[in-house]
Amino acid sequence: MASESSSDFVFSKESAIWEVNSHWTGMVYGPAAAILQIAHPKVAHGVARHSNFKSDALGRLTRTLADVNSIAFGTWTEAEETRKRLFAMHSKVRGTSESGVDYHALDQDLLIWVLATLVMASVQGYELVYGPVDLERKEQFLAEMVVLGQFFGIREEGDDRLSSWANYERYFDEMINGDLLGSDPVCGELALNLVSLQDSLGVRVLSALTAFIPVETLPPQLLGSLTLKSTTLSRAKMRWFSRAFPFMFQRLPGKWKYYARTRRRQFEGE
């Protein structure tokens, strides 16, 4: 990993990561990305056995977002501190499930799949509001996300699956259309926890109102194996949301389109 001055930010405001991820548009597809992650049986078993995911799914999503943003929009020192903490935590997440599934949070295949879902959520959320990202910018964004992924444990020498946008799309499609995702019952159990959050009363109410979003932003071919169902009503809600959200988001005051961390850098200087 490149060595930089501790006062320098990992990514500049001219980077593709800043353009695509500094706004919170990716949160629309964030729950779907999280579901795709736990649709991998090895991820699911690691999460189920080493976290309080079932009772604090929202907390886990929030902490994951905070970790990603501390690297994407933080200094090299902040990113390195996050890397050390995540490595210490993830190195302990390993074992064998009752059904014989071996898992380890630092498994390269799992790390690459998690990063691939984050790329999906970021790009699709951005495009929902601002329209298509051109191929050159997607290539740059993917390359920068691979750098971000190195702080999570992805090896610096990279991987062909993430070496180009075409390879990334091919890999993502193969995963979505293969037999692995959702193949273990624990995947569906955790997916339901993400669609119907069981946190505080306020969170449960909000979850009930927005449950159609993760369902309708997931690849439809995975819904059955994850025990989720698209309905006429959920599809109608998503069509309305897909029109209303971009209209409302673009009319927000500039500061409120950004995460708190990126808002400070954008409007108060670096």
Residues 36-66 have pLDDT tens digits of 999 999 999 999 888 877 666 777 778 888 9
End-to-end CA distance of the chain: 23
The confidence score (pLDDT) of residue 196 equals 84
6 pLDDT tier (thresholds 50, 70, 90):
very low
Q: Which of 68, 238, 145, 115 is nearest to 60 (CA)?
A: 68
User: Which two tokens mark 235?
Assistant: 């599809």
Residue with tokens 């690691």: 46
User: Which two tokens mark 130?
Assistant: 């601002």
Higher pLDDT, 1 or 266: 266
106 pLDDT tier (thresholds 50, 70, 90):
very high
- CA gap 197, 207 in Å, rounded: 6
- CA gap 57, 60 in Å, rounded: 5
- CA gap 83, 150 in Å, rounded: 9
200 pLDDT tier (thresholds 50, 70, 90):
low
| pTM summary value | 0.92
Question: What are the boundaries of each domain within the chain?
Answer: 16-268
Radius of gyration for the chain, computed over Cα atoms and rounded to the nearest angstrom:
18
User: Residue 172 in contact with residue 122, Cβ under 8 Å?
Assistant: no
Q: For residue 24, is pLDDT > 70?
A: yes
Higher pLDDT, 219 or 1: 219
The confidence score (pLDDT) of residue 31 equals 92
130-182 pLDDT, tens per residue?
999 999 999 999 999 999 999 999 997 768 999 999 999 999 999 999 999 99
